[in-house]
Amino acid sequence: MKRTITHLADGRELLYFDRRDDADHSAIDTRDLPPRPLASELRYDPLMDEWVAVARHRQTRTHLPSADECPLCPAHPGSEIPSLYDVAVFENRFPSFSFNIGEYEEVGGLSQVRPGIGRCEVVCFTPVHDASFSSLSDDQVELVMEAWADRTSELSALPGVEQVFCFENRGAEIGITLPHPHGQIYAYPYVTPRTRQMLEAAARHQGGNLFADVLAAERKGPRVVASNEHWTAFVPAAARYPFEVHLYPHRRVPDIPGLSAEERSAFGPLYTDVLRRLDGLFGVAMPYVAAWHQAPVSHGRDLAYLHLQLFSIRRAANKLKYLAGSESAMGAFVNDVLPEEAARMLRESVTS
């Protein structure tokens, strides 16, 4: 793999990950771009014991451009990526977190305000605009994983970063703003609420590692969708979403950099198979969120267990699962599909 670091016209980093050592990325970004926005402000919610980022500049981010104006397609005048690439990663032009710190006023009451330091990056999985992650070759998925591992290590070393989150949003129903196949990486200045909750549960668990015990139990049960030597994909017993699949490596590692070459190689064939099964359920492109759960930078690394959570809000061919009153207001999920039935449907789904 060849890794090349360059910069965009406004100073943001752009990294290329290529299979060929002779890949040429000498093209320069000559656009006239506005100054980079200031970092968001973090406001503390004392009732929830959580931080909320307020990033007003994100209201102006690019929204569903035409294919010929896509900023993720390479080598055209409006592109964020001035040369052809295999996989490309760049700092988000409209970040939720950054190190471009401004001045932040206190808001009074019991809340606190601090700069939203951190970093947000965009990961372009392929230069092909109308592709999808499920259509990527095994080699291309491995290259994406190399990029995820590289960025996780690099971002974890930044001052003030507490957690690195790699994810993909896919589909208009999920709310994407760019249809080109891509994901994002957030380097948070705090441990996220879901990760904190899972680690607290793992700390209370008796008799072994909670995640490993969950995996061991699921591998024996009726909710396995697919598996190979190194990974198992299963619908969790208490799935929150109509179609939700968790992918676990069989060996506990805290994050993507901890995976062996064999484990990285084995991930792609299984994962793309599961994605095609999702698309095959109703014969439509399934909207989904794919979320890598990694250990925080300096907390709970002995408890955490790397895994991918994949879920869709589609519950039937022409119906979506809306997160309404109970889910949005109370955080109390009500699932419309029996997890065992969802697993059976995925196992029987046509993948071609």
Nearest to 234 by CA among 138, 352, 133, 340: 340
pLDDT digit string (tens) for the chain, length 352 residues: 999 999 999 999 999 999 999 999 999 999 999 999 999 999 999 999 999 999 999 998 888 999 999 999 999 999 999 999 999 999 999 999 999 999 998 998 999 999 999 999 999 999 999 999 999 999 999 999 999 999 999 999 999 999 999 999 999 999 999 999 999 999 999 999 999 999 999 999 998 999 999 999 999 999 999 999 999 999 999 999 999 999 999 999 999 999 999 999 999 999 999 999 999 999 999 999 999 999 999 999 999 999 999 999 999 999 999 999 999 999 999 999 999 999 999 999 987 6
State the pLDDT at residue 78: 93
**In the chain, domain spans:** 2-190, 194-348
CA dist 33 → 10, 69, 78, 94, 188 (Å): 6, 16, 10, 12, 26
Backbone dihedral angles phi then psi of residue 7, each to the nearest 5 degrees: -135, 150
Domains 2-190 and 194-348 alike in fold? yes
Helix (H) or strand (E) holding 44: strand 41-45
Enumerate the β-bridge partners of residue 138.
none
- H helix or E strand, kind and range, residue 231: strand 231-234
Q: What is the CATH number of domain 194-348?
A: 3.30.428.10
What pLDDT is attached to residue 350?
Answer: 82
- What pLDDT score was predicted for residue 351? 79
Tokens of 20: 């060929």
Q: In the numeric block, which tokens belong to residue 232? A: 């198992």
Do you know the residue count of the chain? 352
Helix axis angle, 339-348 to 261-282, nearest 10°: 100
210 CB contacts (<8 Å, ≥6 apart)? 201, 202, 303, 305
Q: Which CATH architecture has domain 2-190?
A: 2-Layer Sandwich (3.30)
Tokens linked to 65:
């451009």
31: closest CA among 89, 121, 93, 102? Answer: 93
pTM of the model: 0.97
Distance of CA 262 to the CA centre of its chain: 22
- pLDDT the model gives residue 99: 97
Q: Within a 10 A sphere around the Cβ of 91, how many other Cβ atoms?
A: 20
**Residues identified as active-site:** 182
Q: What is the DSSP string of 117-174?
A: -SEEEEEE--S-TT--GGGS-HHHHHHHHHHHHHHHHHHHTSTT--EEEEEEEESTTT
> Helices 193-204 and 210-219, interaxial angle, to 10°?
80
Alpha carbon 162 to its chain's center: 16
